[in-house]
Amino acid sequence: MAFDNLYLKGFALLLALGLWSVVPDPSVLHIVPGVPLQLDAMPGDLALTEAVAVTLDVSVRGSVLRTRDLRPGELSPRIDMFGMFEGDNTVLLTPDMINVPFGVTVESIDPRQLTISLERRVHRDLLVNVVVEGSPHGDYQIYDKLVEPATVPVSGPASRMELLEAIATEKVGVTGRQESLVRNVRVIPDDPMLRLDGARQVRVTVAIEERPINFQLQGIEVRVTGAASRVVVNPAVIGVVLQGPASVLANLTPENFIATIDVEGLVPRAEDYSLEPLVRFDSAELAARVQVIAITPQRRLDVHVFSEPQR
């Protein structure tokens, strides 16, 4: 008896499965909102005037099992742009453009048509603008920003390219830094209609140094050049007011400076000449980092040229 019951239960299960397989699942209408578009085969000499922000509401019919899990990205229609022209192009959306699974049909598409506006694509080399985020340590500052290469090739619709002078990098953080940094960073168009036609990275150097301070140094002897006779300079020793990084200024001595008065061509006379000395550094590195902003006790010196020869 137990065996007969087991046989009957198995037969009932097979019968139920058979009936499930042949009885169709009720067909339902299901709306999939926010279906995006895919644009293919963009003509190389044209560019979108603006992003195609339209998404579609696609109504499909099929069984609940086949339609309830449909995702917008699965239904995206592919728009073939081959042969489109400069200006406004009207595209009619048809059910055969929608990729639906077997047993599902497309009932409607909203909107049924869209306009794609194209412009002539313009190519230009744009300067790269280094974007810095934050500030160095309080006693330091950014004194230069370098980028290699200095320009990158960019293309886009003519109306937008005409307005551009530069393209920005991603942000380079310098918060709290006390030294320069060198980094490879991305170039990021802030307009989605623009396209980078070359490398997407540049090498950036953000030069950081101490904030300049003023510093006085005394005891620089003034030398006379071009003299044909005896010359007296008053004062013969000067001071300078300097501006530059504290760590550099602290190590300077009068020997780091060359102060000269050129008297070539000056004739002897009773009155003094009033001449400004030329103050130079003894190295190009110092000249690049330190500036002479004043001469003390005075900028112009009294120079007397005698008729008697030099001793």
- Beta strand 87-92 with 132-133: parallel, antiparallel or unpaired? unpaired
* Range of the structural domain that residue 84 is part of: 26-111
- CATH of residue 47's domain is 2.170.120
Residues 63 and 137 in one domain: no
In a domain, 14, yes or no: no
Q: Are 75 and 54 in contact (CB under 8 A)?
A: no
Count Cβ atoms below 10 Å from residue 304 Cβ, excluding itself. 17
End-to-end CA distance of the chain: 144
Digits of tens for pLDDT over the chain (311 positions)? 454 565 666 566 665 555 444 445 568 899 999 999 999 998 989 999 988 878 999 999 999 888 888 999 999 998 999 999 999 999 999 999 998 988 999 999 999 999 999 999 999 999 999 999 999 998 899 989 999 999 999 999 999 999 899 999 999 999 999 999 999 999 998 888 999 998 899 999 999 989 999 999 999 999 999 999 999 999 999 999 999 998 899 999 999 999 999 999 999 999 999 999 999 999 999 998 899 999 999 999 999 999 988 76
Whole-structure pTM over 0.75, yes or no? no
Last residue of a domain, one of 178, 210, 242: 210
Last residue of a domain, one of 173, 191, 210: 210
Structural domains of the chain, count: 3
